[in-house]
Amino acid sequence: MKHETRWSIRTADTIVSQAGSDSLHPEIEKRWAYVPGMMLMAIARTGEYYELDSYYEFMKRHMDLFVKEDGSIRGYRVEEYNLDQINQGKNLFKLIERTGDSRYEQAAHSLAVQLIGQPRTTEGGFWHKKIYPFQMWLDGLYMSSPFLAQYAKTFDRPDLFDEVALQLLLVERKTRDSRTGLLYHGWDEAVEQNWANPKTGCSQNFWSRAMGWYAMALVDSLEHLPADHPKRGTIIGIFERMCGALARVQEQVSGLWFQVLDQGFREGNYLETSGSSMFIYALAKGARLQYLEKPARKVAEKAFVGLLDRFVEANNSGVHLHSICHGAGLSTDRDGTYGYYIREKIVSDSHIGVAPFLLACLEMEKL
């Protein structure tokens, strides 16, 4: 049972089945946000691949709760300048393609306006949020870069491909540790935050999900970047190099990755499934699209088997995922220490883990 195919459909069905009589999911309908957006995208992609139109309709119903007739987005303010708020907008492109409705185009334009005006570091890097001045977080690259790359392709804005490349390359240069090849969670150019290294401005540890966000940002942005873009080869090169670093810290028995990537079985550390799912997704998609060389596929396959064996449960109520870090960030009370990352709550079935798991399942099935 554990290794039968189409885990993606079984997982998507589990989420869809939780919708009420009005076919709306109580968690996804709450607000416009990055986790609901990722879940809707994962379900819609599964529907597209397996020609299950009900999954697309599920995504559309929830998007229509927020995108108004004039194209404005309920609960969204451009002036917040929050990269997390871009992520749900990735679903707009499928709606534009399938409906031709101008309100979805207008909503996409509104999100692009935010990114064009986003506050920046001195070298042009997007601040993660207005309230986090001069800070770049790996999370933010996933929220914004694939959206902007697809927007550039959809609306013929080649200048914005340059913007995507700038963001992806800059954050990697600022956060990469030359010894391990891993990327720190965040970087504070102003070196004002309590979590920032006084010399480099980087946070202290390599958090699994942060690097997972960035790995997905690379592979999803590359899918839209033109083959002749002058930075495309460099982006593929840093993707390959980063995946080599991830392979070196892969736990050899399970094939999974730890919450704090380079700390192994240090007391309190644990195999974490949201980050592991993101790495599986990025490695599998990178191998499928031939951005990555042969070892990537084997790394992804080993991890996927380990994930299913250890942390995935299927029963009458559907598919369940365990060992998910509920949330982590960087702020005055979230100091980026090892102790901080391992103290964050560990949960089951949170969408922050289930959505990337669904994406990973789909990519493994495509392989």
Sequence ranges of the domains in the chain: 7-366
Q: How many CA atoms lie within 13 A of 322 on its CB side?
A: 9
The 3-state secondary structure of 63-97 reads HCCCECCCCCECCCCHHHCEHHHHHHHHHHHHHHH
Q: Residue 345 in contact with residue 323, Cβ under 8 Å?
A: no
User: Which residues on adjacent β-strands are paired with residue 313?
Assistant: 320
- pLDDT > 70: percent of the chain: 99
- Helices (H) and strands (E) counted in the chain, each on its own, are 13, 6
Q: What are the C-alpha distances in Å from 63 to residues 74, 235, 282?
A: 10, 32, 25
293 vs 356: CA distance, rounded Å: 22
Phi (first) and psi of residue 347, to 5 degrees: -130, 175
243 vs 248: CA distance, rounded Å: 9
The whole-number pLDDT of residue 4 equals 47
162 vs 124: CA distance, rounded Å: 12
129 vs 134: CA distance, rounded Å: 9
Q: CATH for 7-366?
A: 1.50.10.10
125 vs 140: CA distance, rounded Å: 11
- The residue annotated as part of the active site, out of 84, 139, 188, 220, is 139
Q: What are the C-alpha distances in Å from 192 to residues 98, 263, 300?
A: 46, 27, 38
Q: What are the C-alpha distances in Å from 156 to residues 113, 149, 150, 159, 161?
A: 15, 10, 10, 9, 10
3-state secondary structure of 323: coil
The whole-number pLDDT of residue 5 equals 60
Model confidence pLDDT, tens digit, residues 263-274:
999 999 999 999
pTM beyond 0.95: yes
Counting as low any pLDDT under 70, the low residues of the chain are: 1-5
Residue 300, both tokens: 């992804």
For residue 177, indicate whether it is catalytic.
no
